[in-house]
Structure 1
Amino acid sequence: MKLILKWLFSAASLLLVAYVYSGVEVTSFTSALIAALVIGLLNAILRPVLVVLTLPVTVVTLGLFLFVINALMFWAAATVLDGFQVTGFVAALIGSLIYSALGMVIESALGRLFPQE
């Protein structure tokens, strides 16, 4: 139940990112659902590999390169999908920052609703 709610709220937060920031466009809630799924899969599968491969750069930049990796995952999802568009890397960086902040709020709220899971 928690996973489905997180997916729905993540899709809604993508719509909010598109509403707040003009560099990100989402055409419909269905596109947002698919985009949230693809971003989640990219973050689960590809992001750990990129974090390990770029560990020296991440250490030198004191962890700031992780923002670049998040932006790349956000941008990669936009290039794969039709209903989810990002205008460039800077838009992906800003959009991923907003999306990550909303994701932390979602995770915190769901953690309070479902403390045992």
Structure 2
Amino acid sequence: MIWNLLILSVAVFVVANFLPGIRIKGPGTAVVVAVVYSIINFLVGWLLVFLSIPLVIVTFGLFMFVINAFLLWITDQLIDDFKINSLGTTLVAAFLITVIDSGLHWLF
């Protein structure tokens, strides 16, 4: 579990430094973002996925990025040192965080 949070923290930190529309205070904030995002995903993510099964099926799983973007937006609202400027940036960030997180999990 700690390993997963560290990988997610790295993904958040990389994306925050890559995308100009995201502001993050530092690596510690990336860890906080990963923890809060994981908690929100655990508490609400499964329900959102369950309620949107038809959309996930119709879009061949691409709607999961919308769910991840929504969870990332909630995380943005809860953490003062983490800000995302727009909806488009949130969608791109959710996509990139998911891809980097998956890639790092596969690599390690």
TM-score exceeds 0.5: yes
Check the 8 A contact 1:14/1:26 in 2, yes or no: no
Equivalent positions of 1:30-49 (< 5 A) are: 30-49=28-47
CA–CA separation in structure 1 for the residues paired with 2:89 and 2:57 = 25
Shift of 1:80: 0.7
Q: 2:6 touches 2:31 (CA, 8 Å); kept in 1?
A: yes
Instruction: State the secondary structure of the residue aligned to 1:82.
Output: coil
In structure 2, do the counterparts of structure 1 residues 16 and 52 end up closer, same or farther at CA, with 3 Å as the change threshold? Answer: same
Q: How many residues align?
A: 108
Tell me how far apart the structure 2 counterparts of residues 18 and 30 of structure 1 sit (CA, whole Å).
Answer: 13
Segments of structure 1 that go 5 or more residues without pairing to the other structure are 111-117
Q: Taking every aligned residue pair, what percent have the same amino acid on both sides?
A: 25
Residue 18 of structure 2 corresponds to which residue in structure 1? 20
Name which of 92, 97, 100 aligns with 2:98: 100
- 1:73 correspondence with 2:66: no
Superposed CA RMSD in Å reads: 1.5
TM-score of the pair, normalised by structure 1: 0.82
In structure 2, C-alpha distance between the alignment counterparts of 1:107 and 1:12, rounded to whole Å? 11
Name the aligned partner's letter for residue 67 of structure 2: I
User: How far, CA to CA, are the matches of 2:106 and 2:56 in structure 1?
Assistant: 26
Paired AA for residue 82 in structure 2 = F
Aligned counterpart in structure 2 of residue 63 of structure 1, from 37, 61, 64: 61
Q: TM-score, normalised by structure 2?
A: 0.88
* CA–CA distance in structure 2, aligned partners of residues 100 and 82 of structure 1: 22
Query: Which has the greater radius of gyration?
Result: 1
1:19-66 Cα distance to aligned partner (Å, 9 max, x none): 111122111111111101011112222111001112223333333222
Contact 2:7 2:105 in 1 (8 A): no
